[in-house]
Amino acid sequence: MASESVPISGSIHLERESGRTWLETLHEWVITVDHKKLGLMYIGLALLFLVIGGIEAMVMRLQLAVPHAQFVSPEVFNRMFTMHGTTMIFFVAMPVMFGFGVYLVPLMIGTRDMAFPRLNAWGFWITAFGGLLLYFSFIGGDGLYGAGGAPDVGWWAYAPLTSPAFSKGHSTDYWTIALLVAGFGSVATAVNLVATVLSMRCPGMTLGKMPLLVWMYLVMGGMVLFTITPLTAAQMMLMVDRYLGGHFFDTQAGGSAVMWMHFFWIFGHPEVYVLIIPTFAFISEIVPVFSRKPIFGYPIMVAATVGIGFVSMSVWAHHMYTVGMASYSNAFFVLTTLSVGIPTGIKIFNWLGTMWGGKIRYSTPMMFAVGFLFQFLIAGLTGIMLGAAPFDWQLGGSYFVVAHFHYVIVGGILFSLFGAFYYWYPKMTGRLLDETLGKWHFWLFLIGFHLTFDFMHIPGLLGMPRRIYTYEPGRGWEVWNLIVSIGAIVQTIGTLCFVFNLIWSYFRGKKAGNDPWDAWTLEWSVASPPPVYNFATLPDVKSRRPLWDIKHPEDPDWKYE
């Protein structure tokens, strides 16, 4: 199949230019406004920070492997979990999702670039700058006070721990400004994605004929516009507090710590969906192609995505069941939180419906997709437990929560992301990732993941709170923590397989051709890697699966849609 490529009108092949110096190449990457180069740079940035955030996680797991360990001091441990959380959310998950988005969306809607190419470049560079600023805190955070270093206030930075009385030096300022500028980058790219989807689609591609991935990125972009804004507002207020003597969050002067929580979580919870909706997008492309069937129930998948987008904006205070809200407020947020489960459940059933009756090929992307479905199911069910306020009074703030959201982020988001890497890497580089290494990566990471995050639930049920640098023996937590730490090592080995695969396959991988997976969306109609202008003439599509129509002229999709 890999050799068969289906030409669609207007695909062009440019010869690679040769004979440039490395400086010219570097210059070209720095000044580029090409969505493909920017997408790859976003992904590269995210991979760099993934390694850094992973090292921070390993420091924590080594410290927690046994009770009363003295591997690192409490100060260092607190910086590690703050930096781990901040890095993984803002400088791994966000950039990688934007990277895949700006790379794939123009190709999938049959256009030549994003709506605002230079804004695209600005969004990337300002995000990268934010990441560097955050890590500069290791050097500059001390300030004149000799206290600090990297921020140690936790990734949600609850007031009043961030006030000058409790956070001396400049570590919190670096954290604030890093997220502020990275937030501007996110908003810029979100504007760009929404504008691109709404105004740049090729002839024939109505909203109802867009690939699901594009729909989901449209919803994700819209959500970013609404969720980053309150975070930015809160960071501004925090800066006013810290530098201009404001009292928004200064509880000693009548400010409100609870207000910070509301601001943070009205960003923080939709943020989870900002990250998981692109994940759904990858799964909604991978599962149909490898099951050899169209997505089951396209209209309801779109409706469920938009529904999640709206409902997820009204669930934030389920992070605050223990802060002393009135009983009816708690009940309200139980209802909204559990309601998110309905559209999410619909999606899981529709993916199963897509697999049902298909001929499933277990290439590495599909293995990661099935892993995603299994783990996302469990993550959703522990989410129901946490969403039910009374149960959350016991589980909230414990290791059960840590296990739950890592199940979402690692078991869900990261698994589907690995699937996306195996699926689109051939398009991005022209070479397939090695399947044998891919299977090693999958099984090692799967085993490591389950060792770590299955057993991490148990100390939570046995009363172990999160964010403690050490714990007391005799509480029944020791053996579980040791297993969790061992699992982290196995995951690290799995990730090394992946990183090695990325590098090795770039030089030695099998040539991919235009369409190695026999897929149906427009990005597979162009060369791998796609030429600068993607399409010499814009394609004209009639259905959601334009390449299916070409490959099966006797039974085209547009007859049924």
Region from 47-55, 407-415, 456-464, 490-498 binding another protein, contact rule CB under 8 A? 456-464
**Residue located via tokens 């002839």:** 203
Residue 268 CB coordination number (10 Å): 18
- Judged by CB under 8 A, the residue of 248, 273, 296, 535 near another protein is 296
Residues 70-99 interacting with another protein (rule: CB under 8 A): 73-75, 78
52 binds another protein (CB under 8 A): no
Written as six digits, the tokens of 506 are 């770039």
536 binds another protein (CB under 8 A): no
**With contacts defined by CB under 8 A, how many residues of the chain interact with another protein?**
95
CB of 347 to another protein, least distance (A): 10
298 binds another protein (CB under 8 A): yes
Evaluate whether 269 touches 191 at the Cβ level (below 8 Å). Answer: no
Task: Give the chain's largest Cα–Cα span.
Answer: 75
Residue 240 neighbours by CB under 8 Å, 6+ apart: 246, 248
Region from 32-40, 41-49, 233-241, 457-465 binding another protein, contact rule CB under 8 A? 457-465
Residue 19 neighbours by CB under 8 Å, 6+ apart: none
327 binds another protein (CB under 8 A): yes
CB of 79 to another protein, least distance (A): 10
Reduce the DSSP state of residue 243 to 3 states and report it.
helix
- Judged by CB under 8 A, the residue of 316, 469, 498, 517 near another protein is 469
CB of 152 to another protein, least distance (A): 8
DSSP H helical segments within 11-116, as ranges? 22-31, 35-64, 74-86, 94-108
Between 19 and 553, CB nearer to another protein: 553
Give the integer Cα–Cα distance in Å for 287 and 352: 9
**Residue located via tokens 């999938």:** 108
Residues 247-266 interacting with another protein (rule: CB under 8 A): 251-252, 254-258
Burial class (CB in 10 A: 0-12, 13-18, 19+), 489: middle
Region from 125-133, 209-217, 277-285, 316-324 binding another protein, contact rule CB under 8 A? 316-324
Nearest of 427, 521, 526, 528 to residue 12 by alpha carbon: 526
Between 424 and 469, CB nearer to another protein: 469
Region from 45-53, 209-217, 262-270, 373-381 binding another protein, contact rule CB under 8 A? 373-381
Evaluate whether 444 touches 494 at the Cβ level (below 8 Å). Answer: yes
Between 113 and 515, CB nearer to another protein: 515
Between 138 and 391, CB nearer to another protein: 391
195 binds another protein (CB under 8 A): no
